[in-house]
Amino acid sequence: MKKAIDYYHELLVKDEYLSSTQQILQEAAENRYLAFGKRPVCSVLRPYFIDQPTYNFVHNAAQLVSTGINLLGQRLMTNDELRKQLDLTPEEEIIIKFDNKYGAPDVSGRLDGFLSSEGDFNFVEYNAESPGGLAYGDELSDTFNKMPIMQKFSETYSLKTFAIRKKVFEALLLAYQHWGGKGLPNIAIVDWRGVSTYGEFLLSKECFEQHGCQVKIVDPDELEYHNNKLFVGDFRVDLIYKRVIIGEFLNKFGLNHPMIDAVRNNDVCIANALQVQMLYKKSCFALLSDPIYHESYPADVINALLKHIPWTRKVRECKTVYKNSTVGLVDFIVANQNQLVLKPNGEYGGKGVILGWESSSEEWSETLKTALSSSYVVQERVPLGQEVYPSMIDGELNFGERFLDLDPYVWNGKYIEGCGIRLSKLSLLNVTAGGGSATPMFIIDKK
């Protein structure tokens, strides 16, 4: 990969390639919805390159871990005591029992992982609720493929990408058919009005319409339920592509909403299904990483969980095991601040996450107090991936180190295909939180 990256950078410094790369990215941000509000989705001038053997390694690790998550989800549905570990609200307890009629609730999901330069690969979260960025990454792949620099690069290296928007549509359609739907559904993309990811909804709408569906992007307030059907005005909704975060939705509406009524009565198909609220909780990783919960998993899944999920525990006063030693959890958290992360159980987008090695002892102590009185997990620090990426800073080409995460996509709760890539100068990687960048992934091989 170093030779390939160096070659790409050698091409980029040539004016003919630098100017066209900048221009095409800028035009895509303006004309192809590749922006969070007014900020470009991609602020770097190179894709992420990975070779086929490394991608296979990532794929296989994600496949086994997602199998563990799927098995955990099945256990959580039938084991009330185990499910208490998730700290679900009363409303969440009700909605997870709605029958989705089509199997795995996570029609599309994203495992957030880090591949270090030493080859360690760790998953720190599972975004099963409403994974974003899929359409952005897909459009970025198309954008880079149009660039003269990539056409020149492809004379030396073969390039492979994944048609992620098409995969999203196929997964949604399969869920709709298994639910009992016939033909092509009318699709409502549901999220709050004015969210920064609106451009991604436009990209998804465009794709779904190209496949023959009628599509509307709607705010939850626009939905109406009558005569056993869900509507937006006179537009009947057959399938909800749910992008709204259900925790936020329940905080605003509770269970008194047309969407909830229609889903409860199986009068509309919704993906992802509301059962993913269990898998969305970060305390799931405490159950996945702790060997006391591994008794029913296949041996290869257990090995993958131990290898690829960092030590994670629900924050509380208790004894637990760390590297074969029994420790008092709270004392351990205090004594090992520089190796630990504290995360709110039900938040997303990096909200409330505290990295011990970047925090003062006072901030760490205060967050721990909050964690003990609410719902948090503590997770062991993992090595991050880093690469040099080119970008324009004050009109000059700059090559700088970026942290990156490598996030395999999970389809129908079990299949892995494609990855999202996020870059940041900060250890806490989250593009929508500001300061970061997405870039597409290309599997490459020397011709």
Boundaries of every domain in the chain? 2-280+385-446, 311-380
Tens digits of pLDDT across the chain (447 residues): 999 999 999 999 988 899 999 999 999 999 999 988 788 999 999 999 999 999 999 999 999 999 999 999 999 999 999 999 999 999 999 999 998 888 888 999 999 999 998 889 999 999 998 888 999 999 999 999 999 999 999 999 999 999 999 999 999 999 999 999 999 999 999 999 999 899 999 999 999 999 999 999 999 999 999 999 999 999 999 999 999 999 999 999 999 999 999 999 999 999 999 999 999 999 999 999 999 999 889 999 999 999 999 999 999 999 999 999 999 999 999 999 999 999 999 887 778 899 999 999 999 999 999 999 999 999 999 999 899 999 998 889 999 999 999 999 999 988 999 999 999 987 655 544 445 899 999 999 999
pLDDT for position 435? 52
pLDDT for position 427? 62
CB atoms within 10 A of CB 210: 11
What is the C-alpha to C-alpha distance for residues 230 and 213, in angstroms, rounded to an integer?
Answer: 17
Cα 366 to Cα 335, 356, 371, 421: the distances in Å are 14, 12, 9, 33
What is the C-alpha to C-alpha distance for residues 412 and 18, in angstroms, rounded to an integer?
Answer: 40
Listed residue (56, 109, 99) closest to 77, CA to CA: 99
Facing residues of 410 across strands?
109, 416
Locate 326 and state its tokens.
């029994």
Cα 69 to Cα 28, 171, 189, 253, 301: the distances in Å are 36, 18, 26, 29, 10
Cα 98 to Cα 93, 231, 232, 266, 276: the distances in Å are 10, 20, 22, 8, 11
pLDDT for position 433? 44
DSSP string, 404-445: EEEEEEEETTTEEEEEEEEEESSSS--STTTTEEE--EEEEE
pLDDT for position 195? 92
Provide Rg for the chain, Cα atoms.
Answer: 22
> Is residue 285 within 8 Å of 312, Cβ to Cβ?
yes
Its CATH architecture, for the domain 311-380, is 2-Layer Sandwich (3.30)
pLDDT for position 296? 87
pLDDT for position 378? 97
pLDDT for position 101? 87
Facing residues of 158 across strands?
445
